Homo-oligomer: A and B are copies of this chain.
Amino acid sequence: MLRIDPKSQLPLYEQIIQQMKELVARGVLQPNDRIPSVRELSSQIIVNPNTVSKAYKELERQGVIITMRGRGTFIAEFTTEDVLPKDIERVKDQIQKAVLEGFYAGIHREEMKVWVEAFYKELGGDQDD
């Protein structure tokens, strides 16, 4: 299900978080779908259970998954809350940093905008959300 790259600079637990969110965003995983237990996933992707556990805790904190004691772990219902200013700032900072690096690497503005568009489409479909 997940493709973890142990050689990546990105921490393993971050890779798990990111990919899980991507699967949800793409609709591969739907609300109330059951996902593997910590032990199952850790043996599937050959990663220390502590690492998976850490990722799951963070995903739960972010409202992406829900763990029900004794029953398993599930994809959470979407809670279309208001957009949080805190999140806006964080994402803005990330984009700003990426644009700065892109600028320095000689990448054109339009190219980066195309990427935003493309990634967004990969996730949510081609509607403007």
Contact = CB atoms under 8 A, between A and B. Distances in A.
Nearest to A68: B6
B25 A104 contact: yes
A62 to B, nearest CB: 7
A102 interface: yes
Chain A interface secondary structure, helix, strand, loop or mixed?
helix
A95 B101 CA distance: 11
Interface in A12-50: 18, 21-22, 25
A7 B88 contact: no
Contacts of A110: 128
B124 A103 contact: yes
Given A103-B123, A109-B120, 8 more contacts: A6-B71, A21-B100, A91-B112, A94-B97, A94-B101, A95-B95, A96-B115, A108-B129
23 contacts: A7-B66, A18-B97, A25-B103, A80-B106, A82-B106, A83-B105, A84-B105, A87-B105, A90-B101, A91-B98, A91-B101, A91-B105, A91-B112, A92-B115, A94-B97, A95-B98, A95-B119, A100-B119, A103-B120, A106-B129, A108-B129, A109-B128, A116-B116
